[in-house]
Amino acid sequence: MNSGILPCNRAMPPVRYTPSAMGTLATLDQFDFHDRIGRVRGPALVLFHAPGCAACRHWKQLLADYARLHDNISLYQVDVQRDMALAHEFGLYHLPALFLFLNGQFHCEFQAEARVEHVRQALDAALQSPPQEAP
């Protein structure tokens, strides 16, 4: 099935993270996305991914590792092949895509180098910046 969204085809370094028992991303879909995100207090990061995307798998593991080390953020994932309506709503053309929400409201598109320490630094910087307009 061709979803029209192009996954990142860049070669990613091997994942060097160990699976963590606590570091999981809750799954959202088009039916509960806005309700569940709207109830989150504090920051929430949403990863839009596709099962066949190597870079997406790398980010999922990285965020699971981040969650194991830091409890200051709620982490979610959306499978765009299953929930195309959300992919269209957010205007996604490339994967993976990350969006930061703060207290239930869209804050910004999140960009960081795919390393735990860079995610923390980018998250701190993003939260200090004013919110952007939602897509």
Q: Where are the domains of the chain?
A: 24-91
Question: 6 versus 134: which is more confidently predicted?
Answer: 134
User: What is the SS3 assignment for 91-132?
Assistant: CCCEECEEEEEECCEEEEEECCCCCHHHHHHHHHHHHHCCCC
CA distances from 64 to 14, 39, 85, 121, 135 (A): 16, 21, 25, 17, 26
Per residue in 25-53, pLDDT (tens digit) is: 999 999 999 999 999 999 999 999 999 99
Whole-model pTM: value is: 0.82
118: which 2 tokens? 């860079």
Homologous superfamily assigned to 24-91:
Glutaredoxin (3.40.30.10)
Band of pLDDT at residue 118, cut at 50, 70 and 90: very high
Mean residue pLDDT across the chain: 86
If you search the block for the tokens 């929930």, which residue do you land on?
A: 83
Q: Which residues, in sequence order, are CB contacts of 8 under 8 Å at separation 6+?
A: 53, 54, 55, 56, 94, 95, 96
